[in-house]
Amino acid sequence: MTKKGFTLIELMIVALLMGMLAAFTIPQFSKFQKRSDAGNVAAQVESSLKLSQSMARSGVQNQTAGANKIDYYKFAFSDPGSVGCYSSYFIQGYDDANASVGSELGKTSVQCPIVISYENSDIDFQTITGRVINNTWSGSTTVKVCYSGYGYVPITVYEDGRIVKGEFNDTPCTCTCSP
């Protein structure tokens, strides 16, 4: 007579191996998910920065603005949670008297646990050249798209108008949010 099936020891070994595999893969998946979430929002912020610059370079004028001519486009942050930490951003045209022209364009909000960290003033792109103007920094500045308590994706904006999105950095951000 031959026995068919598995012994209790064989089943326990398989269960142990599956538990070890799950113990390793679940934290890795969580880490991947956080990087992916921050990366997706960083790509949206980078795209909006480039749109702001593109509108400035092409000299796009807001037709509803009347006689006011747009001299620069501002990429601005709003809804601060704490100093230097924001939950939304938008594009706004301004005239030579620094008065806003028309309405905010493309206002976008981010959801907790994602938050935007930026320590300087807004980023202004000059019409026609697309260069950064009215800045309080020299050379370059960095916008950080943070996954609260975990890490961030840097987006560097240079004075000449270059915009470069970096790789995820595991250093935790100082910005946090509350759901």
**CA triple 59-60-66, angle to 5 deg:** 110
What would the mean pLDDT of 131-146 be, rounded to a whole number? 86
pTM of the complete model:
0.81
Query: Which amino acid is it at 171?
Result: T
Query: Which amino acid is it at 90?
Result: F
The count of other CB atoms within 10 Å of the CB of residue 109 is: 12
For residue range 66-124, list pLDDT tens digits in order. Answer: 557 888 899 998 877 767 888 899 999 888 888 888 888 889 999 888 999 888 878 99
Residues 6+ apart with CB under 8 A from 95: 68, 69, 70, 71, 101
The count of other CB atoms within 10 Å of the CB of residue 54 is: 13
> Token digits for 139?
């050379």
For residue range 152-174, list pLDDT tens digits in order. Answer: 999 999 988 899 999 999 998 88
